[in-house]
Structure formats: C-alpha cells, structure tokens
Amino acid sequence: MQIVTAKEMYEIDRLTIEKGGVDGKLLMENAGRSIVNHMLPIIDRTKSILVLVGGGNNGGDGFVIARTLLTDGYDVLVVQLVPDYKIKGEAAYHKQLWLNFGGIVHVFQDTSMIRRYLLDADIVVDAMLGIGISGEVRQPLKDVIGLVNQVEALTISVDIPSGLPADEGESHFEAVVADYTFIVEHPKMSLFLESCSPFYGKWEVVKIGLFHSNLSSGSRIAWRERDVKRTLPKRSRNSHKGTHGRGLVIGGSSTMPGSIAMTLKAALRSGAGLITGGTINEVFSSIASHCVEATYLPLLGKAGAMTTQPVDVSMYNAIAIGMGMGRNEETAAFTRQLVKDVTKPILIDADGLHHIKDDLASISQRKQPTILTPHPGEMAMLTGISVREILLHPFEVSKQFAYEHNVYLVLKGPHTIITDPNGNQLVNTTGNQGLAKGGSGDVLSGVLLAMIMQEQSMIEALANGCFIHGKSADLLISSHRSTEDLLATDVIDGLASVFRTL
Ligand SMILES: NC(=O)C1=CN([C@@H]2O[C@H](COP(=O)(O)OP(=O)(O)OC[C@H]3O[C@@H](n4cnc5c(N)ncnc54)[C@H](O)[C@@H]3O)[C@@H](O)[C@H]2O)[C@@H](O)CC1
Ligand SMILES: Nc1ncnc2c1ncn2[C@@H]1O[C@H](COP(=O)(O)OP(=O)(O)O)[C@@H](O)[C@H]1O
Ligand SMILES: [K+]
C-alpha cells in the first residue's frame, strides 16, 4: 500500500485521467460510492446524517455520498460551507445531480446555524477540506471544525480529517478529530506522523480505480500482513539449524544483564538457527538460566562492562550489538573497533548507537549492511536534530540519514519507518502503546537479527521483523493482556501466535 504526499496523489489522479482516460466525474462518483459502502456497517437508517461540504473536490465527494445515501433511504442534510460560485468543475456536476435527485443545499449563514444542525445530527460526514488545503484554515471553516469537535455525533471524515495536512512538516493546524476516516486510494503521509495520526480515528483505505504508477520520488509503502505473508521465508521440511543462521548478540553489563537475555530469546523464538550471547563473565550466570537454548561467548570485562578485545566473529552470519552494554569509554572503543572490523551484517542498537555516534564516516564505508535501530531520542543524538524536528519530518530525516551514511535505518515509534540506503521506505502497521516500555527495543533487536539471517531482501526482513514484533503485542492486548501490564517478555512469548498465522 503506497503512502503518498498530496503532490504525488495529484500526480496519480492526473495520470488516471490523462493516460487512463477515466473522467474525473467518474472518479468522484467512485470515491463517494466506495466510501458509502464502507460506511454502511457503522450507520443505520434511524440516524440523521449531516454532510458538511467544502469548496473543492473533497466537497464533491460529499455530494456523491449525500446522493448515494438519499437514494438508499437515509435521512441526509447537506450544508455547503462556501458560496455557490465556489463550487466548480466535477464538484458542481455532482452538486447538480444531488439537486436533480431532490436534495436540498443549505448554504452556510452563520455558526449558530451550524451549531443547530450539528446538535440534531447523529452522524457528521466531514467533506470540508481534503488534500488541497493550503495555509491555516480560514473562516468560517475554522469555527465549524471547532464545533464539529465539540458535539457528540459520530464523525466520519472523507479522505483526510479536514484541516489536517497530508504531508509531513506542518506543526500548526486545527483539524477535525474523526471517529472514522475513509482514505481515498492511498494513505497520505500524515497518517503515520505522531502529531497527526490520532486525528484519523479508525481508518480504512477505499479503492476508487486510480492508475497504478511508480512514483519518481521513490517507494514509501505501508507494510501489512499480506506483505509479510508474501515475503517471509518458509522453513523447509529439510532444513537444519545451520540453514537459519548463526547469530551473535553482544551486550549486557553488570547493571543491565536482562536486555541481552531478551534479545537472545527473541531471536531464537523468531526462527534463528543458532544464537550466541557475547557478554562479560559476571553476567553469564544470571542470563544463562533465562535462555538455556543459547550458547555463550565470554568477553573480558572491567568495572562491570566490556573492555577492548579481539573477537572472532568468522562463524557468525550476523551480529547485533549494543543492548545493555552501558556507556563506558572502553566499551565504546570496543564497539567502534568491532563495527569497523566485522565483515558481516551488523545491527546496532541502544548504547551501541551512542558508541558509534562520532564514527559514522567509517560506518558509511562498510561493505556489508549496517542496521541502526534508534528511537527518536537516539536519532536526535545521532543527528543533532531535535526530537521535535525528527517527529515533524521522520520520512525526510530518515531518508537523508540512511543515504548519507549508507545504512539501513529503523526509526522506532508508533509507526516505525524502515529506510534502506537508497531511500526506499517501508512503514510498520502493527504495535500499540503497550510497547512503550523498557525492553521492547531489546526484543525487537532479537527478532530483527533472526530475520536478517534468513533469505529475504534486507529492507523486507527488517519490515517483517517490526511487523511481527508489533503484531505479537497487538494479539496479546486483544486477548489476555492490557496496554498497561504488557511486558517485553510477554511479547517474546506472544511470537508463537504470530508465526502460527503467517
Ligand atoms: N479526481 C478527483 O476528482 C478526485 C478527487 N478526490 C477528492 O478531492 C480532494 C482534493 O480536492 P481539491 O484539490 O479540490 O482540494 P480540497 O477539496 O481539499 O479543497 C480545496 C478547496 O479548499 C479551499 N481551501 C484551501 N485551503 C484552505 C484553507 N486553509 N482554509 C479554507 N479553505 C481552504 C480552496 O479554496 C478550495 O476551494 C481529495 O482530498 C479527495 O477527497 C478524490 O475523490 C479522488 C478523485
Ligand atoms: N506507542 C507505541 N505504539 C506502537 N509501538 C511502540 C509504541 N511505543 C514504542 N513502540 C515500539 O516499541 C519498541 C521500543 O523500542 P525502544 O524505544 O528501543 O525501547 P527500549 O529501549 O525500552 O527497549 C519499538 O519497536 C517501538 O516501535
Ligand atoms: K475531509
């Protein structure tokens, strides 16, 4: 499912009309009708429906929705928020159809009129502003958006909640807080931004028959279950433990022994053939009892943390480093040296990211894939860009960084963005706030390590790992866990139910 900017969406519209020969009026009809089909399970004939129509094509969709519902016997009222002369083109055509079919258009007079209609409505269809918004919302729409957000009625937004930007980078907006949004054809970038996603409510993408095209701006795809099912390698009946990779996890320190244990266990639970934990002597005993299936590589420690030493990694297919290592300077030097020497794919997380912060130039020279898995705070530390700016432009910041440093970047969050060194991006669609707890990242690293050792493209392996990790949390909170009590170790246990369905 391609994620688009407003500009890309207009380009796809244009191609559909010019190359595909599909009339814009037909597309609008398709959009309105498809949205009604998606609305039917959540509305019923006893409810009164108010359609708020703006001056662009989003409003045009609103006229089609109103007509489709009216002809199906629903109680529908249309309020047009702009003067008649502003309704043009395809929207004017569909307004005329609405009138031909016996519909009435109530033109906006003042906010008290809107307040009255809103109080009488059970359902509000928000077709005021779509992806054509520019600048701050003007009056009277600004007030109307405020009123829509005050009333009890169920709010259904068409394509995008009115007032919300489609793209990243906007920090000031006033928008409808929708209960449902039916997104036309492609999710817009803002659906995956922390500041914007709550406005969408529950969402679904409705297909209207647009042209399929490869955008010149590179691929940006929402990674869903069907993608995982398509790309996840199947375990052969004849496989042996060596087939699924031999992985090394380096981490842990006297104060943080648990994190490496979680990474080891998660890797094993995600199909890795053989996993070794590289950690200091004083940590072994405490973690070995938690993960008896792993083997261990003793490393030299000083003051409870790893110190500089050579490590033979020749027998491993991939390495994960950083979890629970601590920030000691000798540990940092050890990490930097290892990352430089190792000619295997290497995943760097947590403290490991701090250690390589000033060594990104040598990372970009690596011939084998380097995978960095920062959360926004770690990304800020790596880039010198504030967390606020990162969250405002996560797609752009990720793309620049991955390209500049020749790395695979997994920028973690409610919508984790995975970027390859060419700037292709996959966005995870699973996970919930139960994961916002210590240890979730360690588990993710283990799942990712297992994935990258199995045959699949690197970016898909990372996206599959993120999907599986989030899905485990989703299944757990839909059964016997809550977002409050969910623990990282539960997410490891939950991996079984995810793999059974894939
Ligand atoms: N080809 C088509 O006809 C299709 C149109 N579609 C719909 O069309 C929408 C995009 O249509 P448009 O490009 O006409 O854009 P919009 O419908 O988002 O709105 C543009 C209108 O809003 C006004 N406006 C812009 N910024 C404003 C602000 N800050 N405050 C107040 N008013 C403002 C403009 O004056 C203009 O009248 C999509 O979101 C989608 O709903 C889809 O149905 C897909 C197919
Ligand atoms: N609100 C949320 N919704 C969905 N996933 C989340 C949320 N918060 C965190 N996560 C996921 O949980 C993991 C947290 O990783 P990280 O921040 O490194 O945790 P830690 O360092 O505590 O182990 C990431 O995979 C992230 O995507
Ligand atoms: K809208």
The number of angstroms, rounded, from the C-alpha of 260 to the middle of its chain's C-alpha atoms is 26
Does domain 225-232+246-501 fall under CATH 3.30.1360.200? My reply is no
* pLDDT one digit per residue (tens) for the chain, 502 residues: 999 999 999 999 999 999 999 999 999 999 999 999 999 999 999 999 999 999 999 999 999 999 999 999 999 999 999 999 999 999 999 999 999 999 999 999 999 999 999 999 999 999 999 999 999 999 999 999 999 999 999 999 999 999 999 999 998 999 999 999 999 999 999 999 999 999 999 999 999 999 887 666 668 999 999 999 999 988 776 666 666 689 999 999 988 888 999 999 999 999 998 999 999 988 888 888 888 999 999 999 998 999 999 999 999 999 999 999 999 999 999 999 999 999 999 999 999 999 999 999 999 999 999 999 999 999 999 999 999 999 999 999 999 999 999 999 999 999 999 999 999 999 999 999 999 999 999 999 999 999 999 878 999 999 999 999 999 999 999 999 999 999 999 999 999 999 999 9
Measured between alpha carbons, how far is 62 from 128 in angstroms, rounded to an integer?
8
Q: Is the CB of 442 under 6 A from ligand 2?
A: yes
User: How many Å lie between the centroid of ligand 2 and the Cα of residue 96?
Assistant: 50
Task: Of 130, 63, 57, 119, give the one whose Cα is nearest residue 96.
Answer: 63
Residue 61 is labelled as binding a ligand: yes
Which residue(s) pair with 220 in the sheet?
Answer: 425
- Nearest residue (by CA) to ligand 1, atom 13, is 132
Residue 57 is labelled as binding a ligand: yes
Measured between alpha carbons, how far is 307 from 299 in angstroms, rounded to an integer?
8
Measured between alpha carbons, how far is 348 from 356 in angstroms, rounded to an integer?
9
Q: Judge residue 38's burial from the number of C-beta atoms within 10 Å of its C-beta, 0-12 exposed, 13-18 middle, 19 or more buried.
A: middle
Give the start-to-end residue ranges of the domains of the chain. 6-216, 225-232+246-501
Which residue(s) pair with 321 in the sheet?
Answer: 250, 348
Contacts of 318 (CB under 8 A, 6+ apart): 245, 247, 248, 344, 345, 346, 347, 449, 452, 453
Measured between alpha carbons, how far is 364 from 406 in angstroms, rounded to an integer?
5
Q: Is the CB of 27 under 6 A from ligand 1?
A: yes
Q: 6-216 in CATH: which number?
A: 3.40.50.10260
User: How many Å lie between the centroid of ligand 3 and the Cα of residue 79?
Assistant: 14
Side-chain half-sphere of 384: how many Cα atoms within 13 Å?
3
Q: In this structure, how many other beta carbons lie within 10 angstroms of the beta carbon of residue 495?
A: 24
